[in-house]
Chains A and B, each alone.
Chain A
Amino acid sequence: METILTAAKLSLWVSLSATLLIALVGIVLAYFLARHNFRGKHLLDVLISIPLVLPPTVVGYALVLLLGREGWIGAPLYRLTGWSFVFTWQGAALAAFVVALPLMVRVSRAAIEAVDQDLIHASTVLGKSEWETVIKVVLPLARGGIMAGILLAFARALGEFGATLMIAGNIPGKTSTLPLSIYSAFQSGDDALAQTLAILLTIISGTVIYLAGKWTSSRWI
C-alpha cells in the first residue's frame, strides 16, 4: 500500500510540475508559431515536435548528453552548483516536460490559429496592443483548446517511462513514478502490485483524457 501511495504521489508531483512548466512555455510557443512568421520557425516546430515520434529512450539519451554530469550544459551546472538533473525528481519532470510539450503546443496552436482573424484585426483597430489583444481576445477564445492541450500533456507526463528511466533512473521514493513502479513490480514477480498500479494509472489517465475531450468541445459560438 505504501509503495502505491508513494509512487502515485511522486507521479502526480512530477507530472504537475512538468505540466505547469508546459502550460507557461507552451502557450508562448503556440502563440508565436500560430501568429508570427520568423526565421527558424520550421526548425523550432521540428525541435518541439520530434519527441512525439522518437522513442523516449532517444529523448532520454539526448537529455543525458545535454544535462548529465558530463553533459554540455550539465557539466558546467554541476561544477557551479554541485547539483545535476540525473537521478532526481527534477530530471523526471524535465523528461516529462520534453515528451509532453509537443502535445500541448500542437493542440493549443491549432486553437489559436482558429481564432477569427477579423476579431484580432478589430481589437487592433480599436487601439489595443498585441499583448492586450492576446490576453483579452485570443486566449479566452482559444481557452478550450489550450485547456485540452494542457490536460493531454498532463496525461502524457503521467505515462512517461523511457526518457524518465534514462535520466532519472528508477529509485523507489525518489524517481520511481507509477509507470516505473509497474515495471519494477512486474520484474520482481509482484503481479498483484503491478496490476493495482496499472489499473490506478489507467483510471487517472482515462479521466484526464475524458476531461480534455470535454474542454475541447466547450467553445464559444
Chain B
Amino acid sequence: MDIALSVCFRKAFASGFSMDVSWQAGREIVVLFGPSGAGKSLTFQTIAGLVKPDEGHIQLGDRVFHDTRAGIDLPPQSREIGYLFQHHALFPHMTTRENVLYGHLQPRSSEAAAACAAMLARFHLEGLEQRHPGALSGGQRQRVALARALMRKPRVLLLDEPLSAVDLAVRRSIRNELKALQRTLGIPMVIITHDLGEALALADRLVIYDHGRVLQAGTPEAVLQNPQNELITAWAGHAPLQGERIFSF
C-alpha cells in the first residue's frame, strides 16, 4: 500500500476515556468500524486538528499535520480536510448556495461562483439553491454538506456516519456515489460507521475500533478470514450469532 494518510496518537480525556490508535490509509476507502463511544469521531476531530493529542504523529502525504516531538501542530484551517459531520453541520441561517459558497476560501470571487454552480450541478442540487437546510431532506442535506466540503479541494475526506441520516432506499445509491467520488478524486476517504454491512460494502480497508483502541485493521477479506473480535467472528460465520449482542454493538 502506498501510504497517503498515517494516523498514530494517544490522548487521555478529562472524562477518563483514553485513546491509543494507529492506522494507515492509501488512496482508497478506509472504514472505521466500531460501537458508538469507541473513539471514531474523536479520531476524525484529531485528524482535523479540533482535538489535540497528548502524543502522536499525523501525516497526510508529505504534510505533517501533527508531530508532538517535533512540536508541529498545523491549525485546522490549513489542513485542507473535507469533513462531513454526522448531522451534516449545515449552517441553518444560510441557503444551499450560501452553504456551498462558504466552503470556498474567497466566497465572493467569480471563481467561487463558478465552482459553486458546478458543484450544485454535480450533486443534483439545482432548484434547491435558495432553500434553507430546514427545508431539505436528509439526502439533500448530505449532498449539500459534501458539495460544501469539496469546494476547497480537500486532500482527504472524512465522512462521519454518512449513511445514518438517509432512507434505507437511497443508501445503496449513496454508497455507489461515495465509491465513485473516491475514484474520481483519488484521495483517501475515511468513513465512520457502526453498521458492519455498510462497512463491508464500502471498505477497501477496514479498521475495527473498540474502547479507544484499534482491534484489527486490514482488507475486509483479511479481517473476515481471521477475525479477532466477537462480532466479526459471528458475522463471518465462525461462531453462532449471539442475538442481542449484535444489536448492542
Mark A residues whose CB is within 8 Å of B: 116, 118-119, 121-129, 136-137, 140-141, 220-221
Q: How far is the CA of A121 from the CA of B149 in the complex (A)?
A: 12
Q: A122-B89, A124-B50, A137-B91 are in contact. Are A129 and B77 (CB under 8 A)?
A: yes
Q: Which residues of A contact B50 (CB under 8 A)?
A: 121, 124-125
Whether the Cβ atoms of A125 and B92 lie closer than 8 Å is no
Q: Which of the residues B45, B87, B132, B148 comes within 8 Å of A126, measured between beta carbons?
A: B148
Whether the Cβ atoms of A121 and B91 lie closer than 8 Å is no
Q: Which residues of B contact A137 (CB under 8 A)?
A: 91
Q: How far is the CA of A129 from the CA of B76 in the complex (A)?
A: 10
Q: Which of the residues A118, A122, A128, A220 comes within 8 Å of B77, measured between beta carbons?
A: A128
Interface residue? B93 (CB, 8 A): yes
Q: Which of the residues A116, A124, A220, A221 comes within 8 Å of B76, measured between beta carbons?
A: A124
Whether the Cβ atoms of B89 and A116 lie closer than 8 Å is yes
Q: Which residues of B contact A125 (CB under 8 A)?
A: 48, 50, 76-77, 79, 81, 83
Q: Which residues of A contact B33 (CB under 8 A)?
A: none
CB distance from A221 to the nearest CB of B (A): 5
Mark B residues whose CB is within 8 Å of A: 45, 48, 50, 76-81, 83, 85-87, 89, 91-93, 102-103, 105, 132, 134, 148-149, 151-152
Q: Which residues of B contact A129 (CB under 8 A)?
A: 77
CB distance from A185 to the nearest CB of B (A): 47
Q: A127-B152, A128-B77 are in contact. Are A122 and B134 (CB under 8 A)?
A: no
CB distance from B80 to the nearest CB of A (A): 8
Whether the Cβ atoms of B152 and A220 lie closer than 8 Å is no
Q: Which residues of A contact B151 (CB under 8 A)?
A: 126
Which single residue of chain B is at the shortest CB-CB distance from A143? Answer: B93
Q: How far is the CA of A129 from the CA of B77 in the complex (A)?
A: 7
Whether the Cβ atoms of A141 and B93 lie closer than 8 Å is yes
CB distance from B90 to the nearest CB of A (A): 8
Whether the Cβ atoms of B89 and A119 lie closer than 8 Å is yes
CB distance from A220 to the nearest CB of B (A): 4
Whether the Cβ atoms of A127 and B78 lie closer than 8 Å is yes
Q: Which of the residues A118, A124, A140, A220 comes within 8 Å of B87, measured between beta carbons?
A: A118
Whether the Cβ atoms of B93 and A127 lie closer than 8 Å is no
Q: How far is the CA of A221 from the CA of B91 in the complex (A)?
A: 10
Query: 17 A–B contact pairs at CB < 8 A?
Result: A118-B89, A121-B45, A121-B48, A121-B50, A121-B89, A122-B83, A124-B50, A124-B77, A125-B76, A125-B81, A126-B102, A136-B91, A136-B102, A141-B91, A220-B134, A221-B92, A221-B134
CB distance from A117 to the nearest CB of B (A): 9
Q: How far is the CA of A154 from the CA of B148 in the complex (A)?
A: 40
CB distance from A69 to the nearest CB of B (A): 49
Q: Which residues of A contact B81 (CB under 8 A)?
A: 125
Whether the Cβ atoms of A220 and B89 lie closer than 8 Å is no
Whether the Cβ atoms of A126 and B91 lie closer than 8 Å is no
Q: How far is the CA of A131 from the CA of B83 in the complex (A)?
A: 21
Whether the Cβ atoms of A122 and B85 lie closer than 8 Å is yes
Which single residue of chain A is at the shortest CB-CB distance from B105? Answer: A127
Whether the Cβ atoms of A141 and B102 lie closer than 8 Å is no
Whether the Cβ atoms of B93 and A126 lie closer than 8 Å is no
Q: How far is the CA of A213 from the CA of B195 in the complex (A)?
A: 45
Q: How far is the CA of A123 from the CA of B93 in the complex (A)?
A: 13
Which single residue of chain A is at the shortest CB-CB distance from B135? Answer: A221
Q: Which residues of A contact B85 (CB under 8 A)?
A: 118, 121-122
Nearest 10 pairs of A and B residues by beta carbon:
A122-B89, A118-B89, A220-B92, A125-B83, A127-B77, A124-B76, A140-B93, A118-B85, A220-B93, A221-B134
Q: Which residues of A contact B76 (CB under 8 A)?
A: 121, 124-125
Q: How far is the CA of A141 from the CA of B48 in the complex (A)?
A: 24
Q: Which residues of A contact B48 (CB under 8 A)?
A: 121, 125
Q: How far is the CA of A141 from the CA of B92 in the complex (A)?
A: 8
Q: How far is the CA of A119 from the CA of B102 in the complex (A)?
A: 12
Whether the Cβ atoms of A126 and B92 lie closer than 8 Å is no
